[in-house]
Amino acid sequence: AITVTVDTTAPVLTISTSDLVLASGEAATITFEFSEPVSEFSVSDVVVSGGVLSNFIQVDANTWTAIFTQSGSVAPSISVADGAYTDIVGNTGKGDVLDGADGFIFNPLAVDLIGEITIPADINNDNILNANELGADKTFTAQITLGSDAAVGNIISVNGINYTVVQADLDAGFITAEIIVTVDGDLSVRAEARDSAGNTDIADTTIKVITVDTTAPITPSAPTGYLDNVGPDQGIKG
C-alpha cells in the first residue's frame, strides 16, 4: 500500500521586535518567525516605513532576523503581504504587520534606556534552551542592553523584578537578570526601564525552553548465571 500525506495548511508569519518604543535613530532587532519551514522568502518581501532595514539574516528554516533603525517622522511599520512566500510544499503563506496597533511606535521625546535582550546560555543562538544549556537549577540569565540615555539609578523591571542600574552596569553596557523556569514552552522576557524623570522604555524577547532528559541510561549488571550448553557447572541448567 502507498501512504500519501496531504498538507494543505497555510504557513503563518509572526513579526516581533526587541523594542516597541523607539527614540530618534534607535535600532531594534526584528524577528520573522514562521509556523513551519518556508521557501521563497527574502528581504524584498518586507515592506518598511519609518526606518531602514539592514543585516537581514536567516537563522534557521523558519526564522529570519533583521535590524530596523528608526529614521524620519513617519510611524514605523514592518509588513509582509499574504502570498509573499510559501511553505516547502507550496502552500501560500499568511503575512503579518508590526505597527502601532502592536505598540510599535516612534516617540521623538522618548529616551533610549534599554536595547535588546540577549540570552548568553543560548549557545547556538536558536532561541531554544535545552536541558544542557539551562543547567540543573532551571534558571538562566538575561542580559538587557543599556541604551545611550541610561544612567545610574534607572530602574529596570524584568518580568516583575526590579533592578537598579549602577556604575558597573553602565561600564559593562548591560544589566543581568536571573530568570526562573517553571514549565517547558515559550517563555517571555519583558524589560521595562524608567528614569528619574518618569520616562520609560520597553524591550521584549521570547525564548523556548525544552527540558530534555540527558541522563545516561544505566547499563544492567550481567546475570550471575547463563545458558550456553557447554557444561553442567556454568550456570542455569536446562
- Check residue 105 and give its pLDDT: 93
- Check residue 168 and give its pLDDT: 96
CA pair distance 74, 153, nearest whole angstrom = 33
Distances (CA, A) of 19 to 56, 111, 123, 181: 17, 12, 22, 23
| 9-110 CATH choice from 3.40.50.300, 2.60.40.10, 3.30.70.3270, 3.40.50.360 | 2.60.40.10
- Check residue 230 and give its pLDDT: 44
Whether the CB-CB separation of 114 and 191 falls below 8 Å is answered with yes
CA pair distance 115, 100, nearest whole angstrom = 19
DSSP-derived pairing of the beta strands 200-209 and 128-129: parallel
Same fold, 9-110 and 111-214: yes
Whether the CB-CB separation of 131 and 212 falls below 8 Å is answered with yes
Q: Would you give per-residue pLDDT tens digits along the chain (238 residues)?
A: 676 566 678 999 999 998 888 988 999 999 999 999 998 899 999 999 999 999 999 998 899 999 999 999 999 999 999 999 999 989 999 999 999 999 999 988 878 899 889 899 888 777 888 888 887 788 889 999 999 999 999 999 999 999 999 999 999 999 999 998 888 888 889 999 988 888 888 888 877 777 644 444 455 555 544 444 444 444 444 4
Whether the CB-CB separation of 39 and 45 falls below 8 Å is answered with no
Write down the architecture of domain 111-214 according to CATH: Sandwich (2.60)
pTM over 0.85: no
Distances (CA, A) of 59 to 7, 122, 146, 156, 230: 24, 13, 25, 29, 61
Q: Measure the N-to-C terminal CA separation of the chain; round to a whole number of Å.
A: 45
